[in-house]
Chain A
């Protein structure tokens, strides 16, 4: 019954109008936040610089191809997008609880789930604005130097990065629900960022070395569980999605502990990866709603 009632809510126009109203407020408020502006500008400038020098690097005589430029861009997007998400997400709930505005808002006829989804949509829109502008202008620069840009690959790169941002945002909103003060939430968010990049890499490396030997991975013969484990790290899903579609990323994948796509099992497929990214966005948000409904607001 409760599930049915929820589904009825999904179709309620009023619910969407409140969610979108909260999203709009978050968008406007965050676009005016000077820190977000600074980060957006940094993101834009770095995208331009990386695309420019990316295209021009190695031998300065010849422009590199688009794929190799995307290779540089991924290394930078992998950190820049989560950092942007930290700034947007870490305080999204906990700071409103600290300041007291959450108590006021929740005394209005609004569901806590609507508040969270509104926040997510609004903050994600800010992130999308930054990523699409940054990588979009980057793409234009690339296309000025390279004649045969495969745009489909570049669009996929932007889409995947936006989804990666959504995942981090959703995780950070969840942490912002869990933690009781914004400092801890910030620390938790930064830890999560490190968890999926450095910490994961080193612990998986150590695990592989201890069990079957890292050389097996390098030789392209990792065991099944190792490949399955990768799907629990959104950064690796994101990277696998790109590697499956952008050939130049493949050789490079191994250096970063990613898998050589040639040895990717059959279920490593573009659609699966896209669906996994979306699941990775949805699960923390659903968890966040569950936890938020049980939170005391004071």
Chain B
């Protein structure tokens, strides 16, 4: 049974339709990736889940309770990371967290272990305005665990962080998932969702266009990598790779050979070119991106 259930959700901002009949369901224990490009309506949906804005139509249920009527009870077991986390800047780390603890009616003893867990090594008396962005984001994540909630709603938890912290945050989310929490996270980064989630919902223009297990991204959609080769002679190489069955859309871009193929077929391409005595000077691979997901989903629908 669905633990979080969104049905036919509509929301407009004036003329702008942010959500147009969004449906979605998350089972207990899922790590659900809510994937969509900028402006797709992810944050809007999350704000409705949290009761911060009201939908024009449709409903959101969590654990069988309607958020618009029983939001107060529901919020007792939810942890939320807003898209732009903000704390009281003129208050200390400790004062912020102990305030939030009191509001959630939880013991304050856990604050120390939370700070420890999330590697917030500044003294607890430090004012928020003195912290770096990465530190504030970690504190934001730590704050979601106050009161040991069953559900975590994370709006773009990995965006805008440096690679090291981003990596760390991802590990932390995996840990939180292992501890049995249901996690709903939004992202526009495909690889993040692939690494973190077991379920994925793809949203575009306020509508769910695909919802499936995350393997779908790899197996059903068979996403292609973008492969760029610096090779000599270029024109001949282009003609040569056209013979390989697995290669799609080969072309010349900025003096390099660019083509799309499955991850495991890359080696085949290189071997083929080497066999025919081409000089490979350099190569690079881009992971499949969100655009590729959309292309495939649209292809599938035709």
Contact = CB atoms under 8 A, between A and B. Distances in A.
Interface of A: 14, 17-18, 21-22, 25, 28-29, 32-33, 99-101, 103-111, 294, 296-298
Contacts of B95: 25, 28
A111 B53 CA distance: 14
B85 interface: yes
B104 A103 contact: no
B52 to A, nearest CB: 4
B82 A104 contact: yes
Given A14-B105, A21-B102, A32-B90, A107 B84 contact: no
Interface string B43-59: 00001001111100000
Q: How large is the interface on B (under 10, 10 to 19, 20 to 34, 35 or more residues)?
A: 20 to 34
Given A32-B90, A100-B85, A105 B52 contact: no
A18 B50 CA distance: 19
Max chain B Cβ within 10 angstroms of own Cβ: one of A28, A33, A298: A298
B52 A106 contact: yes
B89 interface: yes
B283 interface: no
A274 B78 CA distance: 44
Contacts of A32: 90
B87 A108 contact: no
Contact of B100 (A17, A108, A296): A108
A21 B105 CA distance: 11
Given A29-B90, A32-B90, A296-B54, A110 B103 contact: yes
Contact of B72 (A21, A33, A111, A297): A111
A104 B104 contact: no
Closest 8 CB pairs of A and B: A100-B86, A107-B80, A297-B52, A109-B75, A296-B53, A109-B76, A21-B102, A108-B103
A105 B103 contact: yes
Interface in B4-59: 47, 50-54
A126 to B, nearest CB: 15
